[in-house]
Every structure is written in C-alpha cells, then in structure tokens.
Amino acid sequence: MDYVVRAIDEKAGILAFCGRTTNLVEKARLIHDTLPTASAAFGRLLTASALMGLMLKGEKDTVTLRVDGGGSAGIIVAHADSKGNVKGFIGNPGANIPLNQKGKLDVAGIVGSTGTLTVVKDLGLKEPYVGQVPLVSGEIAEDLTYYFDKSEQIPSSVALGVLVDTDGSIKASGGFIIQLLPRAEEKAVASIEEQLKSTKPVTQLIEDKLSPEDILKNLLKDFEITFTAKHVLNYHCSCSKEKIERILLSLGKNEVDDILRSQGTVELICNYCRKSYRFEKEDIDKIFSV
Ligand SMILES: [Zn+2]
C-alpha cells in the first residue's frame, strides 16, 4: 500500500513529508504505457504532487505541477488532491534514452532544462495560486527545491526517486520533502544537511522496505518529530461522461459537427486515465438540443 506521511518538530521548526509511491507509479506506467526514462520522469513528478497534496489544508484543495522543459518527454503534468488521489500525464510516454554518465535513468535528458516548472494550487479562492520558476536541472527534485526557495521562500530539501526494473515495471518509487520553518535554528539546518549527505538514495530505502515513517525517523533522528497526517495514495481520475459532454458544449456545435463530418464519430480520450469517450451523431444532437 502506498501512502504519504507528514511530520513536524514544532520546537525545532521542521516540517517533513515522505511517501512510498511504487504502486501509484506502476499504475501510471500501465495506463500511459511509459518507457523507463519517461516512467522515471513522470514518477518523480507524481511523487512530488502526492507529497504536496499533504501540504494542502482545505478538503477540496488541489495542487497541479507542470514541467515544460523543451525535451523529448514533452509536457509532464501531475495533479493531487488533499486526500491522496493523484493523476497525471506525460506528452511523450515513449521518451527513452540511454543511462546518463552516473548510470542512472537520464530524466534531465528527456525533460530538458530550458523551460519552466509551474505549481498551481486551487485553494477554493477566486483565483488559484500560481508559482513559476525556470528549471535549474530538469531532474525535478532540484527544480522543486528551487521553486520552494524562490516562490514560497521556504528552504527545503527534496528527494524523489523511481527505480525501474529490467522488465520496465516499477521496482521502487518514493520521496521526501524536508522544510525549515522561519524559527528553525542554524544548528538544525547543519544537522539535516549532515544527515542527508550520509543517507542512501530514497529508492534504495524504499527497496530495503523502510516505511515512510522510518525514513523520516532516520533522517531526522536528532529531532523529536510527531506524525500529524497519513494519506493512502491512489491513482484516481474523476472524469465522467457528463464532464466530457461539457467539454463538447464548450467547443460549440460548429466545431463538433466538423469533427463528426470528418471522423464519422467524435472520440475524446481523457488525458489522465486514457479512458475513451465516443459520441455518435445522435448523442451529439442530444447534447446540443438541451
Ligand atoms: Zn479520466
């Protein structure tokens, strides 16, 4: 079972999030048919959104991460709500290139590094919160670290990892975010930095069967952390025939009739779950007769 946890040391001013996303990313791989490098890039962003879903306060709040780096992966989007529902899509699921010089899946190589990372938080206000930063590496974790620093002014350490098996399936996936609240002391910062340096890669910790709680307890062993939330994660899309009909209505009758004339039928495939919605001429007439 995949889940994310939130922990805090009130006194030291440390906030931490950690999650295992192996099944979630595997499900995403099966839905979108991603090849290894694309699986890693997509999985990292899905993991980041799952962790950031735990930062949301309102029941209906959502967070969307969008990476547009100009590389062969195309645009990658991940979306999470505050209850552990996560979904996303990647422009080119077939993006796959040889391992990088470190022998790792070359995420930056397919993401590109000339674009932006955009974070959209729908907090139920009139306008959503939108933060955007240029990509610093295309590896996603570093880009998110930069986002937290520049856009939210919260010093953070972000680790995201996806380990792909030889058959292309997801062997281990997960990540953590550690944030310093304004009252955090210099001493705490140094201790965390030291601990991060000696910690194994997050995928290895997950593969070693460490729970998200154990990972945080080890990382923050000099602190007294309390776990304040836990969310089970699900790859879940809430699309429906009614929502798709509304999209058709917003396109307008002329446009939809054009598609009908050239294709004989109107088919829309959900970006997030790849579910296909087909409409014949009778269906279209009915939708627009209301
Ligand atoms: Zn869907």
- Give the domain ranges of the chain: 3-235, 241-289
Tell me the per-residue pLDDT of 4-59, one tens digit each, with 9 for 90 and over. 999 999 999 999 999 999 999 999 999 999 999 999 999 999 999 999 999 999 99
pLDDT of residue 146: 97
* Coarse DSSP helix, strand, coil percentages of the chain, rounded to the nearest 5 percent: 35, 30, 35
CATH number listed for the domain at residues 241-289: 3.90.1280.10
Q: Cα(257) to centroid of ligand 1, in Å?
A: 24
Q: Cα(65) to centroid of ligand 1, in Å?
A: 17
Q: Cα(149) to centroid of ligand 1, in Å?
A: 33
pLDDT of residue 187: 83
Which residues make up the environment of ion ligand 1, defined by Cβ < 5 Å? Answer: 237, 239, 270, 272-273, 275
- 140: Cβ contacts below 8 Å, ≥ 6 apart: 41, 44, 45, 48, 67, 107, 111, 117, 160
pLDDT of residue 147: 98
The residue ranges of DSSP E strands in 216-257, in sequence order, are 226-232, 234-235
User: 220: part of which helix (H) or strand (E)?
Assistant: none
Q: Are 78 and 144 in contact (CB under 8 A)?
A: no
pLDDT of residue 142: 96
- Which parts of the chain register pLDDT below 50? none
CB neighbours (10 Å) of residue 227? 15
Q: Are 248 and 284 in contact (CB under 8 A)?
A: yes
pLDDT of residue 188: 84
pLDDT of residue 161: 97
Give me the residue label for tokens 């304004």: 182
pLDDT of residue 190: 84
Q: Cα(92) to centroid of ligand 1, in Å?
A: 18
Task: Kindly state the percentage of the chain with pLDDT values over 70.
Answer: 100
C-alpha 239/C-alpha 275 separation (Å) is 9
Q: Cα(273) to centroid of ligand 1, in Å?
A: 4
Q: Cα(275) to centroid of ligand 1, in Å?
A: 6
Judging by DSSP bridges, how do beta strands 266-269 and 156-164 pair with one another? Answer: unpaired
| Class for the domain spanning 3-235 | alpha beta
Largest CA distance in the chain: 69
Tell me the per-residue pLDDT of 141-168, one tens digit each, with 9 for 90 and over. 999 999 999 999 999 999 999 999 999 9
